[in-house]
């Protein structure tokens, strides 16, 4: 599949972002054909280049997060660096930024200034608390958004303090809302003849939007959802259990017919036929009893046997996968969720595949995250800067 055949082919996106939320938003757009030009500071670029596990001095995460992107450098403390960015944005369809509110305005790159040079621009603004309100000027990373948005309060076990998930989920959720918002704004322009607009995504709101029934349950009943460990509150059975060989299996048997098949499969026909357990309300009322018997059954069998029995009974279940499991799993491999690529020195490595799967115009990964400023000269030349201009920009520290 060529880039020309991808659904976002022809879109030009400028990224003024670092680390996770902004760059993940543009990564999605780049994977589906948009030309993404990432603007980085000349003195080191995106800090993500040095985060987590490094290979020959560069983060493996960087190679994934910046795939399909072009890297240019611009010194936003230099007026000519700012002018370069302004000219770049003037030709763009989308700008994605995750500065603290007010920073771009101080640089002369706020919405008013950019709209004047590009009325059709869609500007995606990702920040901790949004572009308005009493908290807007406060710094806010994903961890803060997860805490304020309610996710951390309900994560963990009731007898222990709140915990985080093992990834920066708040940033990633916000990034996806940003990509959705950008495409909505573009659709409005194309179909309704609308102009450009700002897509304002606050990290805490992105997380809060995922909090299911938390708001109406508190508002109507005064119910505060608390930490409940691995179970799904109010929906039974759905939990993680430990097998005889010390492995962990997640079982979701909360459908009425599924629960009946599950009980028959583990040799408990009396529970399969119990009218008090025929619906979720009845099962949830006897949650402790049900989880105790499932724990006992799993503890009496090795993981392979647990999964075999549940698969035969068509009960949704899975081992709790580590990277080791993923790399050997036929479903991951069949659906190309482990893409092969090569690092700059030729060393092969694998990276996550493309999501979602489009039947006619699928996305792809054409190259890994580039070296800092690898495309600066080419992008400047495309904007009309000649060789002397480019040399002077470099000499004066503007790029």
What are the residue numbers of the active site? Answer: 171
Q: What angle do CA 333, 338, 341 make, to 5 degrees?
A: 130
The answer to whether the beta carbons of residues 287 and 236 sit under 8 Å apart is: yes
CA distance 98 to 18: 7
Distance CA 262, CA 221 (A): 33
**Helix or strand run (H / E) with residue 316:** none
Q: What is the Cα–Cα distance from 63 to 341, expressed in whole angstroms?
A: 10
Angle at 16 between CA 63 and CA 141, to 5 degrees: 80
| Best CA proximity match to 253, nearest among 331, 304, 309, 301 | 309
| CB atoms near residue 131 (< 10 Å) | 14
Helix (H) or strand (E) holding 72: strand 69-73
Dist CA 328 CA 323 (whole Å)? 9
Helix or strand holding residue 202 (H, E): strand 197-202
Pairing of strands 248-252, 94-97: unpaired
- How many other CB atoms sit within 10 Å of the CB of residue 172? 16
User: Which residues, listed in sequence order, are joined to residue 37 by a DSSP beta bridge?
Assistant: 14, 70
Which of 132-155 are b and which e, b meaning 16 or more Cβ less than 10 Å from the residue's Cβ? eeebbeeebebbbbbbbbbbbbbb
Here the tokens at position 142 are: 């994903």
Question: Helix crossing, 169-192 with 21-31: angle to 10°?
Answer: 50
């Amino acid at each position: 599949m060529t880039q020309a055949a991808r659904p976002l082919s022809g879109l030009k996106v400028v990224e003024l972002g670092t680390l996770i939320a902004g760059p993940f938003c543009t990564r999605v757009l780049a994977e589906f054909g948009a030309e993404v030009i990432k603007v980085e500071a000349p003195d080191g670029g995106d800090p993500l280049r040095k985060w987590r596990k490094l290979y020959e001095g560069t983060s493996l995460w960087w190679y994934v997060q910046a795939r399909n992107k072009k890297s240019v450098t611009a010194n936003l403390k230099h007026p000519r660096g700012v002018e370069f960015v302004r000219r770049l944005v003037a030709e763009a369809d989308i700008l994605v930024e995750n500065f603290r509110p007010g920073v771009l305005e101080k640089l002369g790159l706020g919405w008013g200034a950019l709209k004047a040079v590009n009325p059709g621009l869609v500007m995606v603004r990702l920040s901790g608390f949004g572009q308005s309100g009493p908290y807007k000027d406060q710094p806010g990373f994903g961890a803060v958004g997860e805490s304020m948005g309610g996710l951390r309060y309900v994560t963990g076990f009731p007898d222990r303090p709140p915990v985080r998930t093992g990834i920066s989920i708040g940033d990633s959720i916000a990034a996806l809302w940003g990509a959705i918002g950008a495409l909505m704004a573009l659709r409005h322009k194309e179909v309704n003849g609308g102009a450009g607009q700002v897509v304002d995504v606050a990290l805490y709101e992105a997380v809060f939007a995922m909090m299911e029934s938390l708001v109406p349950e508190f508002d109507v009943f005064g119910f505060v959802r608390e930490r409940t460990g691995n179970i799904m509150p109010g929906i039974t059975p759905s939990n993680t259990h430990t097998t005889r060989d010390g492995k962990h299996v997640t079982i979701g048997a909360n459908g009425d017919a599924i629960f009946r098949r599950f009980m028959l499969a583990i040799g408990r026909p009396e529970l399969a036929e119990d009218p008090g357990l025929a619906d979720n309300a009845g099962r949830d009322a006897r949650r402790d009893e049900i989880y105790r018997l499932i724990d006992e059954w799993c503890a009496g069998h090795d993981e392979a046997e647990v999964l075999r029995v549940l698969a035969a009974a068509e009960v949704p279940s899975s081992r709790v996968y580590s990277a080791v499991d993923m790399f050997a799993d036929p479903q991951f491999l069949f659906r190309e969720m482990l893409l092969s690529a090569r690092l700059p020195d030729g060393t092969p490595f694998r990276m996550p595949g493309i999501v979602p799967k489009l039947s006619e115009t699928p996305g792809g990964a054409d190259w890994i995250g580039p070296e800092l400023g690898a495309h600066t000269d080419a992008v400047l030349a495309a904007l009309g800067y000649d060789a002397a201009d480019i040399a002077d920009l470099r000499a004066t520290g503007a790029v």
